[in-house]
A and B are shown apart, each in its own frame.
Chain A
Amino acid sequence: MIQPSIIVHSGAGYFPDERNASKLEVTRSAAVVGWETLLRQDNVLDAVEAAVRVMEDNVECNAGFGSVLNSAGDVEMDAMIIRGKDLSTGGVGGLCQISNPISVARRVLEKTKHCMLAGQGALEFAVREGFPIVSNESLVSPRAKIMLEGVLSKNIAPSTETGSCITKSSVEEKSLGTVGAVAINCRGEIAAATSTGGICAKMPGRIGDTPIPGGGTFCDDQNCGISATGLGESIMRVCLSSRIANFISNGMDPSTACLTALNSMTERVGGDGGAIVITKSGVLAHAHNSRKMTWASVSGDGELRSGVKAGEEFVTHVVVSK
Chain B
Amino acid sequence: MARQLWRGVVFACITFCMIISHAVAQGGDKILIIHGGAGSVRISRQFLKLCDNYSITITGTITPAHGTAKKVAMLAAIRAGYAALQTEDDAQLAVIEAIKVMEDSPAFNAGTGSVRSASGEVEMDAIIINGTDLGTGAVGAVRHIKNPITLARLVKDTSEHVFLVGYQAELFALNSNQMNLVPTSSLIANWTTSNEGWTSNHPRKQNRAGTVGAVAVNSRGQIFAGTSTGGLSGKMDGRVGDTPIVGAGTLADDEIGGISATGWGEAFIRYRVASRIAGLMEGGMNASMSISTVLSGMASRIQDADGGAIAIGKNGDIGFEWNSEQMAWAYSKGVDIHYGVDRGEDINVPLDDSVSTGSTTTESTTPTTPGGSGSVGRKGGIFFGIITAFIVTISVV
* A interface list, Cβ under 8 A from B: 86-89, 93-94, 112-122, 124-125, 157-159, 202-208, 212-215, 232-233, 236-239, 242, 246, 268-269
Nearest residue in A to B117 (C-beta to C-beta)? A121
Residues of A within 8 A of B168 (CB): 94, 119, 203-206
What is the 8 Å Cβ interface bit string for chain B, positions 238-276, against chain A (1 contact, 0 not)? 111100011110010000000000000110011110010
Pick from A121, A159, A205: contact of B236, CB under 8 Å: A121
What is the 8 Å Cβ interface bit string for chain B, positions 118-138, against chain A (1 contact, 0 not)? 000001000000000111100
If A119-B141, A121-B141 touch, whether A213 touches B245 (CB-CB below 8 Å) is yes
Nearest residue in A to B139 (C-beta to C-beta)? A205
Residues of A within 8 A of B123 (CB): 121
Q: Please tell me if the beta carbons of B240 and A246 are within 8 angstroms of each other in the complex.
A: no
Q: Please tell me if the beta carbons of B236 and A117 are within 8 angstroms of each other in the complex.
A: yes
A5 CA / B235 CA spacing, docked (Å): 37
Residues of B within 8 A of A118 (CB): 140-141, 165-166, 238-240
Residues of B within 8 A of A122 (CB): 238
Q: Please tell me if the beta carbons of B161 and A206 are within 8 angstroms of each other in the complex.
A: yes
Does B169 interact with chain A (Cβ within 8 Å)?
A: yes
If A203-B172, A268-B134 touch, whether A125 touches B166 (CB-CB below 8 Å) is no
Nearest 4 CB-CB pairings of A with B: A121-B238, A205-B168, A119-B166, A121-B237
Nearest residue in B to A201 (C-beta to C-beta)? B160
A18 CA / B241 CA spacing, docked (Å): 43
Does B320 interact with chain A (Cβ within 8 Å)?
A: no
Q: Please tell me if the beta carbons of A119 and B163 are within 8 angstroms of each other in the complex.
A: no
Residues of A within 8 A of B235 (CB): 114
- Tell me how far the C-beta of B57 lies from the nearest C-beta in chain A, rounded to whole angstroms: 22
Chain B: number of interface residues, binned into ranges: 35 or more
Q: Which of B153-204 contact A (CB under 8 A)?
A: 159-169, 171-172, 200, 203-204
A-B contacts, 6 of them at CB < 8 A, read A87-B271, A94-B166, A113-B266, A117-B236, A237-B162, A239-B246
Residues of B within 8 A of A233 (CB): 160-162
Nearest residue in A to B161 (C-beta to C-beta)? A206
A89 CA / B241 CA spacing, docked (Å): 12
Does B8 interact with chain A (Cβ within 8 Å)?
A: no
A122 CA / B140 CA spacing, docked (Å): 12
Nearest residue in A to B168 (C-beta to C-beta)? A205
* Residue in A116, A208, A269 with the greatest tally of chain B CB atoms within 10 Å: A116
Q: Please tell me if the beta carbons of B200 and A112 are within 8 angstroms of each other in the complex.
A: yes
Residues of A within 8 A of B270 (CB): 87-89, 115, 213
A260 CA / B140 CA spacing, docked (Å): 31
Residues of A within 8 A of B241 (CB): 115
Does B69 interact with chain A (Cβ within 8 Å)?
A: no
A159 CA / B204 CA spacing, docked (Å): 39
If A112-B236, A114-B236 touch, whether A206 touches B275 (CB-CB below 8 Å) is no
Q: Please tell me if the beta carbons of A116 and B159 are within 8 angstroms of each other in the complex.
A: no
A183 CA / B117 CA spacing, docked (Å): 35
- Tell me how far the C-beta of B59 lies from the nearest C-beta in chain A, rounded to whole angstroms: 22
